[in-house]
Structure 1
Amino acid sequence: MNQQSLSAFIWSVADTLRGNYKQSEYGRVILPFTVLRRLDCVLQPTKQTVLEEFKAKETMGINPAPFLLRASGQAFFNTSSLDMKTLMGDPDNIRENLYSYLNGFSAAVRDIFESFEFHTQIERLTKAGLLYRVTEQFAGIDLHPDHVSNHQMGLVFEELIRRFAELSNETAGEHFTPREVIRLMVNLIFIEDDDALSKPGIVRTIYDPTAGTGGMLSIAGEHLEELNPEASLTVFGQELNPESYAICKADMLIKGQDVSNIVFGNTLSDDGHPGRRFDYMLSNPPFGVEWKNVQKEVKKEHDQQGFDGRFGPGLPRVSDGSMLFLLHLISKMRPATQGGSRFGIVLNGSPLFTGGAGSGESEIRRYVLENDLLEAIVGLPTDMFYNTGISTYVWIVSNHKPAHRKGKVQLIDASGMWRKMRKSLGSKRKELSDAHIAEITRLFGQFVEAEQDGKPISRLFDNEDFGYRTITVERPERDEAGAIVLGQRGKMKGKPVADSKLRDTENVPLKEDVEAYFEREVLPHAPDAWIDPDKTRIGYEIPFNRHFYVFTPPRPLAEIDADLKQTTDRIKAMIEGLSA
């Protein structure tokens, strides 16, 4: 059964719920039942072996858990004699039997259904007389990995969440990232380490602080397995949305990962992995979303811990917390002396340029660039994400740059690399093809400047190219006679008094001498001006689009006039035809 057919089948359960549930509530039933059936199918082949092992170890008075895990061949088990098929044999006791079956699962699985608040839906379905019917529908579908791969199952969960979120007017895109964008990001963080990752028995860690349903972690694992089947990738994550957290945990459980590494909670206010460092990281944090609800905790960490905490470089404005996730990931980088780290993070355009010199945003950019952490930024096409059509950018950050990248930043404009989707999904109308992903990966891997159809698509810069000094230009205050007013006391005695109404600022590129700039750009227009050195601030911005702008000269005036004359002659002929 393909993913579309499977999703359609699961969606058909909504017909059963209609009338007793609002459309926006369908997901509360369908998502946990889908997870339950998936786990049920995964355990089916070893069900009898587990039950026999459980009975034997209970008789011996031995803790059965380690033996049951081995018997099930999974990272979880179920000790109930029931399963979803046998539940169908006793319609009158479906509620009690379903609870008994759920309680037979190992602790990690029970936590998943607690996150779903599944008991609430069981009671509600019982009251509506629908529990047996809904259970029967799910019991009739085969979700064993032999029929529905882990990759397909991930896509099913994402489609269901998107559809349920649209019905309830929630932002579905906060829960997951388009798979082709993840594949691109995984390519970019792995490509420079391909040789190391191909070694037998290699073990690496990867972390997503905004894990959603686990798509980024799953695809990273699949990619590394393709590259090296003997490699081991241990995943870590944290997720704030309870349903997404439950699905992520279930997915990782089936894949044999240690689900205690997937933590529930708000990453910014309560780091679920304090003190841990990782080899690779991926994140698509919510952007354009205020962080006011965690402002107290974040500001406290910034003020009290400084650079010993996560947010030492600065704090962005409260209206957009995406740069806090950038700082959080930087704090999770393994020291370069221990092999270093590389991560990819999706951000909107705001972190590139918002905030002048001295602002929180500029100070964060300054920290990243002055510490030579930024390898590249890839500009993606618009309409790539499910909940927004705005421009987005993938930042690749590393503290162990190859020698040829040191002191440099690569900008790649991939905004023109897309194909139209056959059917839009929310705001997503475009997608990257395999060829597009390969081309972007090639440009990054080769670290070269390149053009396409006469337009630049890859450019290389020095870190300092994005820095500037904001100088404060003062002009003297003058009295009614036009004479310069001088200070009367203190250090300003005998010196011109600055007129605040004439005060101005200039941004001088870091690579340019300030005095030379001042003499060339300011003094010819204001001979009495001077620079107040105490007010000079260093700032950084990355004007991405400006670096790829290609001027197109206007058409010759004669050509425009000819077009206008042709148009007016045609209109005139039409009017004459109407009046004839």
Structure 2
Amino acid sequence: MKDFKAKADLIWRVADLLRGDYKQSDYGKVILPMTVLRRLDCVLEPTKQKVLDYLPKVDSLKESSKDIALNKIAGFNFHNRSQFNFEKLIADPNNVAINLRTYINGFSTSAREIIEYFNFDDQIDRMDDPKADILFRVVKSFQEIDLKPDRQNMADDSMQMGYLFEELIRKFAEQSNETAGEHFTPREVIRLMVNVLFIEDKDILTQEGIVKTLYDPACGTGGMLSVGEQYVKELNPKADLKVFGQEINPESYAICKSDMLIKGQNPSNIKFGNTFTVDGLEDEKFDYMLSNPPFGVDWKKAQKIIAAEADKKGMSGRFGVGLPRINDGSLLFLQHMISKMKAGGTRIGIVFNGSPLFTGAAESGESNIRRWIIENDWLEAVIGLPDQLFYNTGISTYIWIVTNHKSAERSGKVQLINATGAKDDELTKGGKLDFNRFWQKMDRSLGNKRKRIVENGNERGIGFITQLYGNFEENEFCKILPNEFFGYWRITVEQPLKENGKVVKSKGKPKPDTSLRDYENIPFLKKDADQNLVPQTIEEYFDAEVKPHLPEAWIDHSKTKTGCEINFTKYFYEFKPLRPLASIKADILALEEKTLETEKTVLDS
């Protein structure tokens, strides 16, 4: 299949048939399952008759054995044994509903279950109702859309089909005003994540007959899994990357599973449901994991189950180290993925917004989770991406790379890469839009997506960021910091209560004045005279930074807490001195003079 956007536009036009009988937000209930059915129909077309001819030979077999035999004849992990296809469905306009149901029931079990997750049977009734009477026209419109695969390049064809689904889903999401967290990952972001995830293991992945596993706990329509599989196949056609995933949205789950079917992956590796409450792959461990979980989505519905697991299983479970705030479950996904790391080494790539980097005070759930990850030396890198990169949100995002098998040179260190690029006003030169090293402005916005990461060449975008990561050298875009750099103590600074100028004491000790109570965050490391990072103690900091200003102050050590944060923006901040007053004054005077000239021209005319 070529030109997925043109195909998506054709399919989108079919939605016009639903106008009046369906709300715009409900169009997807018809269009998505019909797209899946038409795609399966086109894929099976060349071998459909062979399956029908072979059917009598397996008539006496058990259903499971029959499926296996007919799948082999079809050439895929699924088949359809009914007498119908889309052409035959429209050949009998008066019986489309019953024939369409017969057609759907003719699919093998794995494919039929996919359609069931769309609850499409209800839509058949709704479209066939005399008040609507649009079922035949919808089926006919889809029959006219060619979704035949490019059999010479099935991997790329499946990728194009994935694009088509995501384009449709994006449009439906915009129609129904989905929340910012319900977004889809731009393909260039996935390619960057895959590049960075696999670059350290290229030698392993090019071995003859290598078999590895890839998992996404919030797999959506399967974009992460598809791009990961494609990367490995391009690197080594003989490699076998088995993909696994779980998805809570039934439509996205059905699309992902149908994509796995067509590509020859095992569709039973894709599980349905809430990853937190029912882990569909509980006993599995994986070599690689990729995910873009929803941003800022609360986990209140799953709170009882998650809290119970944390209390009951502790560190032997997924959430023993701590729980984040109820209104953002991002770090729960990362804890879940860490629980699935193999002892021999696993690499994880996950997309977050800025919140998991620094939200939460010392010894809060978020802080404890960050501290646990960094103290175990699992955080390998954080890559800051441009804003306005995603379809349904314009916020800045960050890729975390987490692994329990760092290379020797990366041991005890975290690499920070600032790939946010220049701001809009820095890109305009001579009235023309210029490129920076990371992203370019899109000709046309797609929802909130106004920028895209440049994909071609090693001097920009994906190639350049991958090089920054792989070279592991400090420069203007890259900082390499020891794990201890991100830790700090939160101390409570007290001052004595005074009455009539005298210190009030209790049991021989000064009584603190709560109105003067203050707090200080003391980093574990400080810069010495040569700008090298060296350890410091609480007392050293207190004597140097607090005592000179508050000579009577003391520390209440019983309240001291340990925290951990990654203040990404602060580390890359460059101070720009203010312009001289004389320069600002000259600009103002010039502007006033220009304004007066304009007024004079208008009045004289």
TM range (shorter): over 0.9
- Tell me: CA distance 1:563–1:133, structure 2 relative to 1, closer, same or farther (3 Å): closer
* Counterpart residue number, 2:520: 506
* SS class of match (2:83): coil
Is 1:524 aligned with 2:548? yes
C-alpha distance in 2 between matches for 1:172 and 1:49 = 47
C-alpha distance in 1 between matches for 2:329 and 2:384 = 20
* Counterpart residue number, 2:40: 39
- Contact 2:360/2:367 (8 A) holds in 1: yes
C-alpha distance in 1 between matches for 2:19 and 2:599 = 59
* SS class of match (2:503): coil
- Contact 2:67/2:109 (8 A) holds in 1: no
- Tell me: CA distance 1:61–1:183, structure 2 relative to 1, closer, same or farther (3 Å): closer
- Tell me: CA distance 1:6–1:519, structure 2 relative to 1, closer, same or farther (3 Å): same
C-alpha distance in 1 between matches for 2:11 and 2:234 = 30
Is 1:465 aligned with 2:485? yes
How far the C-alpha of 1:575 sits from its partner, in A, is 6.1
Choose the corresponding residue for 1:68, options 63, 67, 70: 70
- Tell me: CA distance 1:315–1:140, structure 2 relative to 1, closer, same or farther (3 Å): same
Which residues of structure 1 form unaligned runs of 5+?
451-455, 488-493
* SS class of match (2:477): strand
Bigger shift: residues 198-207 or 129-138:
129-138
C-alpha distance in 2 between matches for 1:410 and 1:479 = 53
* Counterpart residue number, 2:511: 497
How is 1:356-505 mapped onto 2 (pairs within 5 angstroms)? 356-416=361-421, 417-434=438-455, 435-450=460-475, 456-480=476-500, 482-487=502-507, 494-505=508-519
C-alpha distance in 2 between matches for 1:362 and 1:532 = 21
* Counterpart residue number, 1:491: none
- Tell me: CA distance 1:575–1:114, structure 2 relative to 1, closer, same or farther (3 Å): closer
How far the C-alpha of 1:59 sits from its partner, in A, is 5.0
How far the C-alpha of 1:535 sits from its partner, in A, is 1.5
C-alpha distance in 2 between matches for 1:36 and 1:573 = 69
* Counterpart residue number, 1:561: 585
Bigger shift: residues 163-172 or 386-395:
163-172
- Contact 1:162/1:173 (8 A) holds in 2: no
How far the C-alpha of 1:574 sits from its partner, in A, is 5.6
State the Cα deviation string for residues 426-479 of structure 1 (Å, max 9, x = none): 1001001114000000100111112xxxxx211111111111111112222334
Choose the corresponding residue for 1:143, options 122, 128, 147: 147
- Contact 1:53/1:67 (8 A) holds in 2: no
The residue type equivalent to 1:196 in the other structure is I
Which residues of structure 2 form unaligned runs of 5+?
422-437, 526-535
How far the C-alpha of 1:90 sits from its partner, in A, is 1.7
State the Cα deviation string for residues 250-298 of structure 1 (Å, max 9, x = none): 0011111111111111112221111211111111111112111111111
- Contact 2:490/2:562 (8 A) holds in 1: yes
Is 1:317 aligned with 2:322? no
* SS class of match (2:30): helix
Is 1:168 aligned with 2:170? no
- Tell me: CA distance 1:131–1:574, structure 2 relative to 1, closer, same or farther (3 Å): closer
How far the C-alpha of 1:38 sits from its partner, in A, is 0.6
- Contact 1:175/1:213 (8 A) holds in 2: no
C-alpha distance in 1 between matches for 2:232 and 2:246 = 21
* Counterpart residue number, 2:533: none
- Tell me: CA distance 1:563–1:422, structure 2 relative to 1, closer, same or farther (3 Å): closer
C-alpha distance in 1 between matches for 2:543 and 2:481 = 27
- Contact 1:175/1:212 (8 A) holds in 2: no
- Contact 1:35/1:250 (8 A) holds in 2: yes
C-alpha distance in 2 between matches for 1:517 and 1:175 = 45
The residue type equivalent to 2:513 in the other structure is D
- Contact 2:370/2:565 (8 A) holds in 1: yes
C-alpha distance in 1 between matches for 2:39 and 2:592 = 69
Choose the corresponding residue for 1:85, options 84, 87, 103: 87
Is 1:328 aligned with 2:336? yes
- Contact 2:181/2:295 (8 A) holds in 1: no
C-alpha distance in 1 between matches for 2:161 and 2:569 = 38
How far the C-alpha of 1:19 sits from its partner, in A, is 2.1
The residue type equivalent to 2:464 in the other structure is E
The residue type equivalent to 2:521 in the other structure is N
C-alpha distance in 1 between matches for 2:336 and 2:322 = 12
* Counterpart residue number, 1:453: none
C-alpha distance in 1 between matches for 2:262 and 2:223 = 14
How far the C-alpha of 1:175 sits from its partner, in A, is 5.0
Bigger shift: residues 341-350 or 88-97:
88-97
The residue type equivalent to 2:518 in the other structure is D
C-alpha distance in 2 between matches for 1:61 and 1:508 = 70
- Tell me: CA distance 1:204–1:441, structure 2 relative to 1, closer, same or farther (3 Å): same
* Counterpart residue number, 1:349: 354
How is 1:292-311 mapped onto 2 (pairs within 5 angstroms)? 292-311=300-319
The residue type equivalent to 1:134 in the other structure is V
- Contact 1:474/1:504 (8 A) holds in 2: yes
- Tell me: CA distance 1:518–1:76, structure 2 relative to 1, closer, same or farther (3 Å): same
- Tell me: CA distance 1:468–1:87, structure 2 relative to 1, closer, same or farther (3 Å): same
State the Cα deviation string for residues 336-373 of structure 1 (Å, max 9, x = none): xx2x1111111011111111111111111101111111
- Tell me how large the CA RMSD over aligned residues is: 1.8
How far the C-alpha of 1:184 sits from its partner, in A, is 0.3
C-alpha distance in 2 between matches for 1:555 and 1:496 = 49
How far the C-alpha of 1:501 sits from its partner, in A, is 2.4
How far the C-alpha of 1:570 sits from its partner, in A, is 3.9
* Counterpart residue number, 1:109: 111
* SS class of match (2:229): helix
- Contact 2:486/2:565 (8 A) holds in 1: yes
State the Cα deviation string for residues 12-65 of structure 1 (Å, max 9, x = none): 111222222222221111110110011111111111222222211215789422
- Tell me: CA distance 1:6–1:569, structure 2 relative to 1, closer, same or farther (3 Å): closer
Is 1:16 aligned with 2:40? no
Bigger shift: residues 472-481 or 268-277:
472-481
How far the C-alpha of 1:86 sits from its partner, in A, is 1.5
C-alpha distance in 1 between matches for 2:592 and 2:389 = 42
* SS class of match (2:506): coil
C-alpha distance in 2 between matches for 1:567 and 1:51 = 82
